[in-house]
Amino acid sequence: MFDVAIIGTGPAGLSAALTLKLHNKDIIWFGSNELSDKVGKSEKIANYPGVPMISGPDLNRHFREQAKEMGLEPVDKRVTNIADMGGTFMVLADNEMFEARTVLLATGIAAAKGMENEARLLGAGVSYCATCDGFLYKGKTAAVYCTDERMEHDIKYLEEICGKLYIYTSFGYTTDAENAEILRLPVRKLDGGMKCDSIELTDGTKIDVDGIFILRPAIAPSTVMPGLEMDGAHIIVNRSQETNFKGFYAAGDCTGRPYQIAKAVGEGNIAAHAILERLSEIEKENK
Ligand SMILES: Cc1cc2nc3c(=O)[nH]c(=O)nc-3n(C[C@H](O)[C@H](O)[C@H](O)COP(=O)(O)OP(=O)(O)OC[C@H]3O[C@@H](n4cnc5c(N)ncnc54)[C@H](O)[C@@H]3O)c2cc1C
């Protein structure tokens, strides 16, 4: 049982992790070891106080060094689902379950709005995790839609187990696998009643499949935590960064504009302090 599960290794997640670590809390911190893709892509950052003009990769390196110095190590797993157990939260990451008293979602802004029927068919022929569900498609026909080059190994794994694999990537993946077929157009829509049984490309081409793996760097927060109150793509939070679930917080780009490092760091800090208060409340309740 962890005190807090932090999901996201960007500036918001890091900021919260640093403060909670200083208070000796038991933290499980999910996300990429590289920390923030977005920060890494910034050419020059000129508006972060205390740090004169710096490149994104350099700032990310400082972030990594600071995390390491503080003994913070991200668990490089993708969180696909969180459940409120009434007092604690169960976090599913790459098919492994973790339990925490509080949760901070700091996953950045999910660029993709999702395919038609994606949320409805999730878990019914739609998977976000090849490692978790790949074995279900042994010898079967599947599709994989991947927009994160770091997940290339998952495509290779699916090539090994599926009978036939249709592949769409945004980064020009190539393969010699005889059972693989590269799709030139992205998938627009998923079809099926109780289970996904076909996909539709942007030109209307339909392909029969037994399932599809959607591998993106970010998943919509309301898919990760069903019932989370949203305002469009943004999670609704109060001044303590708490969502409509008690003990469940959100910070950074995922809560709204401006999409800025300073705002993400500030919100991560506010969330960390609110979590500290919530943890002492829980401690009192349990006495
Ligand atoms: C090109 C570019 C230039 C920019 N320039 C500036 C600038 O000059 N100044 C400025 O202030 N801001 C700038 N920004 C914006 C800034 O990068 C963001 O506002 C900031 O990174 C947001 O931090 P965050 O922690 O909310 O999210 P992010 O930095 O997006 O981090 C989110 C993290 O969550 C992880 N994650 C997501 N989903 C999951 C999951 N399901 N399981 C596990 N981990 C998950 C991601 O992998 C990532 O590590 C720029 C952004 C870009 C793209």
Judge if 36 and 101 occupy the same domain.
Answer: yes
Confidence of residue 263 (pLDDT cuts 50, 70, 90): very high
Helix axes 11-22, 56-69, angle to 10 degrees: 20
Judge if 207 and 66 occupy the same domain.
Answer: no
Least confident segment among 57-61, 114-118, 180-184, 225-229? 114-118
Domain final position from 175, 192, 215: 215
Question: Which of 31, 25, 24 lies closest to 10, judged by CA?
Answer: 31
Q: How far is the CA of 274 from the centre of ligand 1 (A)?
A: 22
**Closest-lying ligand 1 atom to the alpha carbon of residue 39:** 17
Q: What CATH number is attached to the domain comprising 191?
A: 3.50.50.60
- The number of folded domains in the chain is 2
Residue 92, pLDDT above cutoff 70: yes
Judge if 6 and 106 occupy the same domain.
Answer: yes
Burial-class residue 43 by CB neighbours within 10 Å (0-12, 13-18, 19+): exposed
* Residue 134 belongs to domain spanning: 118-215
Q: Does residue 258 have a cis bond before it (omega within 30 degrees)?
A: yes
Q: Which residue has the tokens 């079967």?
A: 140
Q: How far is the CA of 201 from the centre of ligand 1 (A)?
A: 29
| Mutation test residue for ligand 1: of 63, 122, 259, the one with most atoms within 8 Å of CB | 259
Judge if 60 and 83 occupy the same domain.
Answer: yes
Judge if 124 and 211 occupy the same domain.
Answer: yes
Q: How far is the CA of 261 from the centre of ligand 1 (A)?
A: 8
Distance from C-alpha of 220 to C-alpha of 218, rounded to nearest angstrom: 7
User: pTM of the entire structure?
Assistant: 0.84
Looking at residue 111, its pLDDT comes to 64
Q: How far is the CA of 184 from the centre of ligand 1 (A)?
A: 29
**Residue 262 CB: number of other CB atoms within 10 A?**
13
CB of 60 sitting under 6 A from ligand 1 = no
Looking at residue 218, its pLDDT comes to 75
Q: How far is the CA of 265 from the centre of ligand 1 (A)?
A: 11
Q: In the numeric block, which tokens belong to residue 119?
A: 């949320």
Judge if 180 and 194 occupy the same domain.
Answer: yes
CB of 31 sitting under 6 A from ligand 1 = yes
Distance from C-alpha of 118 to C-alpha of 214, rounded to nearest angstrom: 9
Residue 93, pLDDT above cutoff 80: yes
Q: How far is the CA of 89 from the centre of ligand 1 (A)?
A: 24
> Are residues 42 and 56 in contact, defined by beta-carbon separation less than 8 angstroms?
yes
Q: What is the mean pLDDT of residues 182-206?
A: 96
Judge if 204 and 124 occupy the same domain.
Answer: yes
Computed over every residue of the chain, the mean pLDDT equals: 93
Residue 160, Cα to own-chain centre: how many angstroms?
25
* β-pair partners for 127: 213
CB of 88 sitting under 6 A from ligand 1 = no
Judge if 209 and 256 occupy the same domain.
Answer: no
Distance from C-alpha of 254 to C-alpha of 227, rounded to nearest angstrom: 16
Domain final position from 196, 215, 234: 215
Looking at residue 94, its pLDDT comes to 85
* β-pair partners for 143: 166, 212
Q: What is the mean pLDDT of residues 194-203?
A: 96
Q: In the numeric block, which tokens belong to residue 217?
A: 């760097």
Per-residue pLDDT of 230-250, as tens digits, reads 998 899 999 999 999 999 999
Judge if 250 and 149 occupy the same domain.
Answer: no
**Closest-lying ligand 1 atom to the alpha carbon of residue 224:** 41
CB of 74 sitting under 6 A from ligand 1 = no
